[in-house]
Structure 1
């Protein structure tokens, strides 16, 4: 797999610390070519579960999108997923649309992104051409729906109302499941 060259240093970390932590957590050996950004993930032993390889791949993908290693390492938890939206795919490479939509998702001084993150309990990263969302499956899907609403041009107020409605629904369901 490949990551952008400007993210190679983040993946390796200071004195190789991030790479070393990821290798230990997933039971893998990670080789990074800093000349072209290619990353090779290998199992340390035949017993290494394929899950370890997949988790390492997800964390590296998240760092490549633009997440900090601390946020990307959340993907090592069992219930966490990485959901992506490829803006180049959505807009067919029309850069002015990509830039405009990224601005809508980030919002003034990062306000919209922060509201999406706080309401859904996810992390959202707006990368060069990809938007990444880290969270549990249900919450990441809600964040993705909200971002897709912004991409479609829906007003921010409608997106915020959707987020509040979904947050209440999840909270209500979790409370009722506690009493069962």
Structure 2
């Protein structure tokens, strides 16, 4: 038996589910033999089978799933933590405001926004799941989106304007998209047989080399003098001509 987290009383019924359906769903997804829940204390324990009969990674991640559910996240959303690429973090709002209930309520309202708009914007820009419960914010996402969402939540909790936080996320998303397109392009170029296509389209290889130079030049750091100088160098097949009007 492995002892997990103790969850609040008002989350016990959510963890068990109607007729025990949620608990059964968790057991099946995690691959454990049984998930025990003490309805009085909120203590949660898990019984695993023999070594080799379950996924050790899921065994390592299940405590985070239980903790996320205990801190307000819907079970189906929390189950995403069992995926290899997803991780968990928890932001304690008491680190940013006093323990007074009215202060925490104000910060929760800023993070959620009118009709949940701010939370939805952060989720859409980072691909994360966010749940605000009591004095904590639970965030589930991948290694790229998770730190972005956490930073956005902490900045808002610290008093930053919504507009500047969301604009920052938009910039990061555009940067990630550009990086992804560049990687896909480079992979495609590595897999492509220039010589085979050159026979069908004369001059293609030359055009491909020029496009590659332009792509590289578009990604230089303008403050790096060496990179700028290299980008300005002409290839053997390039020249500059001009004439007065």
Shorter-chain TM range is over 0.9
- How many residues align? The count is 180
1:75-114: CA deviations, max 9, x gaps? Answer: 1111011111011344352333211111100111111111
Aligned to 1:84, the other structure's residue is in SS state strand
Partner of 2:36: 31
Q: Structure 2 CA distance, aligned partners of 1:122 and 1:84?
A: 13
Q: Which residue of the partner structure matches residue 220 of structure 2? A: none
Among candidates 44, 50, 58, match of residue 49 of structure 2: 44
Asked if 1:74 corresponds to 2:80, the answer is yes
Match for residue 209 of structure 2?
Answer: none
Q: Provide the aligned C-alpha RMSD in A.
A: 1.5
User: Does the 8 Å contact 1:79/1:136 carry over to 2?
Assistant: yes
Alpha-carbon separation, structure 1, partners of 2:117 and 2:55: 40
- The structure that is helix-richer by fraction is 1
Contact 2:98 2:104 in 1 (8 A): no
8 A contact 1:79–1:137 mirrored in 2: yes
Gaps of 5+ in 2: 187-245
Q: 1:107: which partner in 2?
A: 113
Q: Does 1:149 align with 2:149?
A: no
Partner Cα distance (2:130, 2:149) in 1: 8
Instruction: Measure the CA separation in 2 of the matches of 1:94 and 1:170.
Output: 39
Superposed CA offset, 1:16-51 (max 9, x none)? 122112212222221100112110123222333442
Structure with the greater alpha carbon radius of gyration:
2
Distance in 1 separating the partners of 2:108 and 2:11: 19
Q: What is the alpha-carbon distance in structure 1 between the residues aligned to residue 143 and residue 12 of structure 2?
A: 28
Corresponding residue SS for 2:138: strand
Q: Which has the higher contact order (CA 8 A, sep 6+)?
A: 1
8 Å CA contact 1:82–1:134 kept in 2: the answer is: yes
| TM-score, normalised by the number of residues in structure 1 | 0.93
Tell me how far 1:59 sits from its aligned partner: 1.2
Q: Which residue pairs with 1:97 in the alignment?
A: 103
* 1:89 to 1:38, Cα distance in 2 relative to 1, 3 A: farther
Alpha-carbon offset, residue 177 of structure 1: 1.6
Asked if 2 retains the 8 angstrom alpha-carbon contact of 1:66 and 1:127, the reply is yes
Corresponding residue to 1:176 among 153, 162, 182? 182
Q: Name the TM-score, length of structure 2 as normaliser.
A: 0.69
Return 5+ residue gaps in structure 1 as ranges: none
Q: Detail structure 1 runs of 4+ shifted over 6 Å in the superposition.
A: none
Conserved? CA contact 1:42–1:53, under 8 Å = no
